[in-house]
Amino acid sequence: MAPEYLLWAAVLYVGAAVGSFLNVVIHRVPLGESVVKPRSRCPACRTTIAWYDNIPVLSWLALRGKCRGCGTGISGRYPFIEFITALIALVLFARLGLSIAFGVQFAFSCALIVVAYIDLDHQIIPDKISLPGIVLGLLAAIPGGMPAMTDAVLGVLLGGGLLLTVAWVYERSTGREGMGGGDVKLLAMIGAFLGWQGVLLTLLLGSLLGSAIGLVLMASQGADRKLAIPFGPFLSLGALVTLFWGHAIVRWYISYAGLAEI
């Protein structure tokens, strides 16, 4: 039996390597390119990136955020996504050990990261991520899974239905299209993994985060009310917060509202 710390180190490394792959997915999927071939290149000078310059987080630090070939800056977003993915893998491993639940929740977290950044870059949420996500979430809920199957199915229906209703009311009252179909499918996917209870908390958190950041942006960039801020990143962040702290938030709310004494 290998020492415990080796297992932790392996989880951390695999997490960072998956994060590195997520960077590729975020970059290539919206362009319709393969995520397997070719190897990564510098977008400026087209030099293929050597394996030793492609080690998660560490290579970026060693190169001080610049391409070895041409010196063009490499966005700090790459090591950030690698770091966050590794951190999520570590926290899930601490909570669940090496289990099916670990695999499912890690895959869900990865999908949320990918969706958030693709939506930020292109204002789209690819069906290629959200539709298989709905299926995986429902499969994972099969007997004994988390959440229970009925909660997961209700989550998909509520997630899809809620946003469809909001979008319909918004369009009827303003005559403008406010929310894309991508958001609807994303919230349906979130429902498959977190159940209907998780959908409600995600929508609440996502709306709060979105309004807060929207107000800050409007204040700093002049009051353009039609400023297009994609909703997907906030839904994704809300879903991650719900995945990690949902139970704690609900417990806090119940005790805060004094509902526990009823």
Whether 64 and 53 have beta carbons less than 8 Å apart is answered as no
CA distance 44 to 69: 10
Only one of the segments 65-73, 81-89, 109-117, 120-128 lies at the binding site for Zn ion (rule: CB under 5 A); that segment is 65-73
Please tell me what DSSP assigns to residue 47: P
CA distance 186 to 231: 10
Does 50 interact with Zn ion (rule: CB under 5 A)? no
Q: At its nearest, how many Å lie between Zn ion and the CB of residue 35?
A: 21
Only one of the segments 63-71, 148-156, 161-169, 252-260 lies at the binding site for Zn ion (rule: CB under 5 A); that segment is 63-71
Q: Which residue number, 40 or 207, has a Cβ lying nearer to Zn ion?
A: 40
Per DSSP, the chain holds a count of helices (H) and strands (E) of: 8, 0
CA distance 164 to 186: 12
Residue from the set 42, 113, 192, 194 that interacts with Zn ion by CB under 5 A: 42
The C-alpha angle 12, 117, 69, rounded to 5 degrees, equals 70
Q: At its nearest, how many Å lie between Zn ion and the CB of residue 114?
A: 25
Per-residue contact string for residues 98-137; x = within reach of Zn ion by CB under 5 A? ----------------------------------------
Q: What are the beta bridge partners of residue 48?
A: 41
Does 70 interact with Zn ion (rule: CB under 5 A)? yes
Q: Which residue number, 76 or 132, has a Cβ lying nearer to Zn ion?
A: 76
Does 44 interact with Zn ion (rule: CB under 5 A)? yes
Tokens for 35, please give them: 């995520």
Which residues in this chain contact Zn ion in the complex, by CB under 5 A?
42, 44-45, 67, 69-70, 72
